[in-house]
């Protein structure tokens, strides 16, 4: 049986995405994402615990990130863990773990209304923002009648 490498995160961007374009034309977006949870300490005070994650997006997803993602925006990210390693000039091995995103969704609205963008593997979908709900028309008034005479008993 093969393993499962799937990551799902909901958090806020710690910075605007950094975009790199390579010689072959492919693009990469990198940014940090903060996830927070709350716990109570020994005194019963609520304490926020924040974890920082390195996110990387490639291709069309990187272009969408460059266009729409900004620091502070809340997003949902799906992807897989990737660990890179290298040796420095002193021969010390270093490791770097990041989330390679395959999908993201906006969870917080943009400053101005705009489309919701998501990346599905091998397909990009732009979902228009739904129009605001229309007020419901008032219900017609039913004439008040005395139905006491219609009782069979």
Residue pLDDT, tens place only, 69-113: 999 999 999 999 999 999 999 999 999 999 999 999 999 876 544
**Residue in 104, 88, 86, 110 with CA at minimum distance from that of residue 96:** 86
What DSSP designation does 148 have? G
Contact 81, 7 (CB under 8 A): yes
Domain boundaries, the chain: 7-150
Longest CA–CA span in the chain (Å) reads 101
What is d(CA 25, CA 14) in angstroms, rounded to the nearest whole number? 26
At the topology level, CATH places domain 7-150 in OB fold (Dihydrolipoamide Acetyltransferase, E2P) (2.40.50)
Structure tokens at 38: 């709350």
Q: How far is CA 15 from CA 25, 41, 65, 69, 71, in A?
A: 24, 29, 12, 9, 4
The pLDDT tens digits along the chain (153 residues) read: 889 999 999 999 999 999 999 999 999 999 999 999 999 999 999 999 999 999 999 999 999 999 999 999 999 999 999 999 999 999 999 999 999 999 999 998 765 444 455 444 544 444 444 555 555 556 555 555 555 555 555
Which ranges of the chain would DSSP assign to H, the alpha helix? 59-68
């Amino acid at each position: 049986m093969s393993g499962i490498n799937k990551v799902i995160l909901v958090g806020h961007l710690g910075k605007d995405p950094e975009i790199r374009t390579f010689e072959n034309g492919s693009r990469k977006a990198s940014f940090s994402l903060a996830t927070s949870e709350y716990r109570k300490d020994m005194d019963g005070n609520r304490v926020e615990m924040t974890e920082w994650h390195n996110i990387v997006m490639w291709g069309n997803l990187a272009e969408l990130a460059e266009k729409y993602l900004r620091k502070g925006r809340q997003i949902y990210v799906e992807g897989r863990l990737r660990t890179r390693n290298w040796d420095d000039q002193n021969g010390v091995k270093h490791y770097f773990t990041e989330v390679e995103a395959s999908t993201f969704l906006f969870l917080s609205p943009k400053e101005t209304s705009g489309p919701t963008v998501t990346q599905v593997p091998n397909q990009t979908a732009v979902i228009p923002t739904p129009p605001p709900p229309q007020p419901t028309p008032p219900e017609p008034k039913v004439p008040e009648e005395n139905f006491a005479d219609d009782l069979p008993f």
